[in-house]
Structure 1
Amino acid sequence: MDYNLFLFILVVISSCCCVKCDNIINDFLSVPTTVKAQENNTVLLPCYLNTASNDGNFITAIRWYKDENLVVDSADEQLPLPEGHILWENGSLEIFRVTPNDTGIYICEIVRPEPWSPVRQRHAIEVLHPPSVEPFPPTGFLQVKLGEEVRMSCKGSGVPYPIITWYTKGEEIKLLNPRELLKFTASDRQMAGIYECRAANGVGEPASAQIELNIIYPPELMTSRSWIHTAPGHRVQLECKISADPQATVTWTKGDMPVPLDSRVLSLVDGDKYTLLIKNVQKSDFGIYTCKAINELGQGELQIQLSGVPNPGVFKKTDDKNINSKDSYTLIWEVDSYTPIIEYNLWFQPYKPKTGLSKPNWTKLTIPTEHSSGPVYSKSYTIKGLKEKTVYEALLVSRNRYGWSKPSPILRFATAGADLKEEMITPVQHHTEDNIIPLDLSSSSQNCKLGNVGFMVLVIVTMYYHFHC
């Protein structure tokens, strides 16, 4: 045969084979697919050619790869099938009782003799399984200082990948988007507590983990009474409630000196309540005491005054219109004092709505006390010569042998016919604990206008009350 003719025939045959090769590439009857399966289900990955376009003689081997690793080769007898795997004659791969480890990319490869190249088809398996979370810190406990940044996280896993949500104190933390990392500033020690992350992916039950956040902080001190009335011979308790983490060391001082403790003066501790107990008060015990607490993060202190002066007086409300007239009004009050009251100072003035710093126009009455057998002193007094149809306001101070009391809350009252509106009669309360040193309102004489010192004192008192209405 002519050599050139032989080459021509060979080229024609090769071209026909290549055409058939291309047909094989395009003639998969199976299609690429992603199988989502529950755990323990059976999965069949198809991989077979169109038998109409080939007779099978062109296939020398069928191989399966998982994540680029060869796991099945029909031509290699030394490579055993993985447990739970079956390779069918048409090239399909069946996997029984799939587990999360079976999740991955599977490539079916059909190998043919030369000059044909192998053909491949891609599949995937996603084994659905419930979510799980791994907290950080892994111990589930995080401690920061007040004001520091808090960083805690929960790493989720599962198929599909779970959504992470956060909860604290039984409520969901509203975030712009679900996230594994929770970051914020511990600006308030009330932020301490249990933080829970929950992971959900729609498969099985959500998973959760808890992280306990502890915020350490310098001492914070509180007291129910920062001014205590007493008298010699009585028993009294100065109480100081302290919150601190780490626990604080607490001391009591009077002035700049530590309080000497003995059988009469005791320091007691009950949980977070620290008490200075004085069994038999002496006059020398009067003064300002300081409760001081220190831990490694800082210190705090508060002051409590022990005094023999009377408690602030309290006006008693009366609905008896017969005791009030167009130009007079009867006031009734009570004062608590262990030591006998010597006298009262009653201050009153016409009430005017507050418009800036208006000049007060107080009048003072000095009123003698009456005998009382107990610590509660009651008194009634009728103010005469008042203007008709006028609203007034009054306050009271009282004196015993130890000095003058703090002012009472301001009382607003009216002579007959005045329009006393509800907002005008609301008592102007003040907390006696707010002021440590009692105001001395004893200057000036009965029915006289205030002198310069008394006037300035009343200006301060009036401003205090008016701005706290």
Structure 2
Amino acid sequence: MESMNLKPIMFLWILAFISIKGTYAEPQVNEYDIPQGKPPAFVTPGQTYRIASGATVILPCRITQPGSYVLAWKRGIAVLTAGPVKVSPDPRLRVLPSPTIEQPASSLGGVPELSGGGYSLELRDVRPQDAGDYICQLGTIEPKEIVHTLEVLVPARIHFVSHSGSVEVNQGQMIKMECRASGNPVPSVSWTRKNNVMPSGERSIQGLTMVIQHADRHTAGQYQCSADNGVGEPDTKHININVLYPPEVEVERTTVHTGIGLEAQLVCIVYAEPTAQVLWYKESTQLGITEQHATQTRGNRYTLTIRNVAPNDMGNYSCVASNIHGKSRGHIFLTGSATTAVFDSPSMGTDRDKYSLSWSVNSHSAIVEYRLFYRQQPRHHSAHHQHREDSNEFRNSRINGTRLVGMKPEWVSMNIAGPGVINPNYPGSNPPPYPGVTKQKMTYTIQNLQSATTYEVRVQAKNEQGWNKLSPVFHFTTRANDMENLIEPSAQPAVYGSNQGQSSNSNQIRPILTNIPYILSVCVYFLIN
């Protein structure tokens, strides 16, 4: 069967050989055996074709005046076609006759002549192995040919990923992920993270390898490797990174303010992998679930609810979270005292020798007393100096009368009755209704101040649960003397060049000299501020 199938092919080869050489039996060439006229030439230039895998490509080959010359397609040493006959057994190949070309009009009739021709090569379902050079050859005495180069574009495909599915690592370990891909052109590989940026803060990282030096809880997530070369859709693979680490505890509020008979909620935010067990303590006593104490968990939010708060419920609480990798603790202080005072008065006063100060606190019971401290602002005042005052002056100093002795400048202190005190001068007066979260405002006017001077002030508030924390420093400045009143107008006009004029000038200078202390105070104010 195979020998019978080769007979037509061998026959075609013989015909092609005879037509090219002119004769098969006689090696000598006779001028009458050579086709007459001008030898044909190629109309189609050689080109490069970039075709996607699976597509169809047509390689053109057109010549002028083919005459009896044979046009053949070759790839390497393999002959694909000879004239209109397909020699290759590949069913994807097909020979297509090229259209004739129009020659210029003849000098006799003025009618264009149709001549030329050729054969194009069609290749269907292009595959990567089809890439290479395709030669269209004309069988002249010295063969002429054109070369078409076929580049097959192959979509990017990831053929290797270092990890598959989910990967677990311990905190602090290094993570190295690798992703390799193939395709034509060579694809580029990039890394992204689902719904998040990369641990380095970048949106994506280019390269076959991605390294995370020290894994932590912020490293966990789904990472995506993408390969793209512009042909078709990018190819992607996913890697899930799960980092195992001991609990990390954050408290929602370090101090929780409440009132007697109310409900208080203490909240800890716990991060852990695997999930941590969380226990609640008051001082060193573990709390269980009772009618008064209840716990709740939502995600990584752990809440301790204390119902009907009693005086003995005040104090230090802690949440202790633990898993197989370690343990951590968060501290919360439950108090019935008022919140820290917030000042809402303007920083610039309207009077020269007094200032109306206003502030507010949140308290679940009536404020019975305020303690106010004020002094002139020290020179070279800084946050560092303020911190030292917080830790030393107000902690260790003793109030002696109305001044804190031994400080420069001296702090002046005073106690002010709060609205929660029943005024004996007004029978039937009562404090506002309590308990409940209430914003309690207070005003007080400080007397006997110096004009154009900056002062600093702090306040404490006391309710039935005791004193709250001392407020941050608030600064205010008293009004300066009016500048237009510093110089009095002269009663008589100045006359220059006479004794009378000199006397008038001295009269004008005298009011200025008497007001020098006021002028100096204004200058000091602007230098300080």
TM-score class, shorter: 0.5 to 0.7
Aligned to 1:157: 182
Aligned to 1:276: 304
Most deviating of 204-213 and 152-161: 204-213
Most deviating of 336-345 and 35-44: 35-44
Aligned to 1:291: 319
Q: Once superposed, what is the RMSD of the aligned Cα atoms?
A: 4.5
Q: Are positions 1:261 and 2:286 aligned together?
A: no
> C-alpha separation between the residues in 1 aligned to 2:197 and 2:304?
41
In the alignment, which of 341, 349, 359 is matched to residue 375 of structure 2?
A: 349
Kept after mapping to 2: 8 A contact 1:135/1:210: no
Displacement after TM superposition at 1:319 (Å): 8.9
Kept after mapping to 2: 8 A contact 1:134/1:209: no
Q: Are positions 1:403 and 2:431 aligned together?
A: no
In the alignment, which of 206, 230, 235 is matched to residue 234 of structure 2?
A: 206
> C-alpha separation between the residues in 2 aligned to 1:189 and 1:391?
49
> C-alpha separation between the residues in 1 aligned to 2:197 and 2:253?
36
What is the 5 A alignment of 1:76-115?
84=92, 96-97=123-124, 99-100=126-127, 102=129
What is the 5 A alignment of 1:6-21?
none
What is the 5 A alignment of 1:304-383?
304-317=332-345, 324-352=350-378, 353-354=380-381, 357=385, 361-370=410-419, 371=421, 372-375=431-434, 376=438, 377-383=440-446
Which has the larger Rg? 2
Displacement after TM superposition at 1:402 (Å): 3.0
Displacement after TM superposition at 1:222 (Å): 2.6
TM-score by length of 2: 0.55
Aligned to 1:431: none
Residue deviations 1:22-49, cap 9 Å, x none?
xxxxxxxxxx9997543344688x9xxx
User: Residue 167 and residue 268 in structure 1: after superposition, are their counterparts in 2 closer, same or farther (change >3 A)?
Assistant: closer
Residue deviations 1:420-467, cap 9 Å, x none?
xxxxxxxxxxxxxxxxxxxxxxxxxxxxxxxxxxxxxxxxxxxxxxxx
Residue deviations 1:370-406, cap 9 Å, x none?
3321354433222112122111111111223432210
> C-alpha separation between the residues in 1 aligned to 2:333 and 2:177?
46
Most deviating of 99-108 and 358-367: 99-108
Most deviating of 184-193 and 284-293: 184-193
> C-alpha separation between the residues in 2 aligned to 1:418 and 1:199?
77
Structure 2 residue runs of 5 or longer lacking an equivalent are: 1-45, 62-73, 81-87, 96-120, 136-147, 387-407, 422-430, 483-529
In structure 2, the residue corresponding to 1:102 is in which secondary structure? helix
Instruction: Name the aligned partner's letter for residue 268 of structure 1.
Output: Q
> C-alpha separation between the residues in 1 aligned to 2:481 and 2:243?
58
Displacement after TM superposition at 1:125 (Å): 6.5
Instruction: Name the aligned partner's letter for residue 403 of structure 1.
Output: G
Most deviating of 201-210 and 344-353: 201-210
Instruction: Name the aligned partner's letter for residue 172 of structure 2.
Output: G
> C-alpha separation between the residues in 2 aligned to 1:207 and 1:139?
15
Structure 1 residue runs of 5 or longer lacking an equivalent are: 1-31, 47-62, 73-79, 88-93, 109-122, 420-469
Q: Are positions 1:132 and 2:195 aligned together?
A: no
User: Residue 310 and residue 138 in structure 1: after superposition, are their counterparts in 2 closer, same or farther (change >3 A)?
Assistant: closer
TM-score by length of 1: 0.61
Instruction: Name the aligned partner's letter for residue 314 of structure 1.
Output: V
In structure 2, the residue corresponding to 1:203 is in which secondary structure? coil
> C-alpha separation between the residues in 2 aligned to 1:190 and 1:239?
22
Structure 1 residue ranges (4+ consecutive) displaced by more than 4 angstroms after TM superposition: 32-37, 63-66, 80-87, 103-108, 123-126, 169-176, 318-321, 355-360
Aligned to 1:242: 270
> C-alpha separation between the residues in 1 aligned to 2:79 and 2:180?
31
Displacement after TM superposition at 1:131 (Å): 1.4
User: Residue 368 and residue 64 in structure 1: after superposition, are their counterparts in 2 closer, same or farther (change >3 A)?
Assistant: closer
Most deviating of 292-301 and 203-212: 203-212
Instruction: Name the aligned partner's letter for residue 133 of structure 1.
Output: I
Aligned to 1:300: 328
Kept after mapping to 2: 8 A contact 1:35/1:43: no
Kept after mapping to 1: 8 A contact 2:292/2:307: yes
In structure 1, the residue corresponding to 2:450 is in which secondary structure? coil
Instruction: Name the aligned partner's letter for residue 176 of structure 2.
Output: R
